Structure 1
């Protein structure tokens, strides 16, 4: 069992020698890697990610996104990715659902939603997230 834990720790970029450390001894990025390792050790086909990068600085966010991409390719994973950070959503998602107060206002392929949004609400979100004045004015 320890060998399996050590294996998955290496896969998510952690030193297995840190296995005995206490949670408060890890950085935010390391804690996120631990959370990912805990999910991956079960060999899932679907992983639910709820704001996985929200508390991380930009550099660590990029590392976690790359790790998630690598794990997705290596293990054939599907992600249900819940986030307010549209930059990260765009980096990871193939399909997107935009919700407002619990209702779906737009859904489609990631490229379509980000490049030619149909909903005014989606356009407003994208304009705010990417600091631009208009998206998909066509």
Structure 2
């Protein structure tokens, strides 16, 4: 009987959160689709690709701020924003999305002290050698 009540509570909780997820997904529209297909990336995606996913969330956030600053300096406009679920907490957050080849992503790497080592030429050469 206890297991049945537990399953019922989980089902009810899932039913309450499903409309919220659908609402945020609808708000984000085609930007979310581009993010899912890889046509746009988040700063966390770049850190994952570079093997720096183990950075604390606070460091990742500051890296994102450096990227945004570099993007605004280059384009005189804010980057595109999209609603996504936070990777660890599951809460819906607003993040910026960038072209995967946008120079601001790499300027942000070089300008932030916690990610500066990822922007070194030797690091990129080693990453390309492993990929080949």
> Bigger relative contact order, structure 1 or 2, given CA contacts below 8 A and separation 6+?
2
Give the TM-score normalised by structure 2: 0.27
Give the TM-score normalised by structure 1: 0.26
Give 1 or 2 for the bigger CA radius of gyration.
Answer: 2
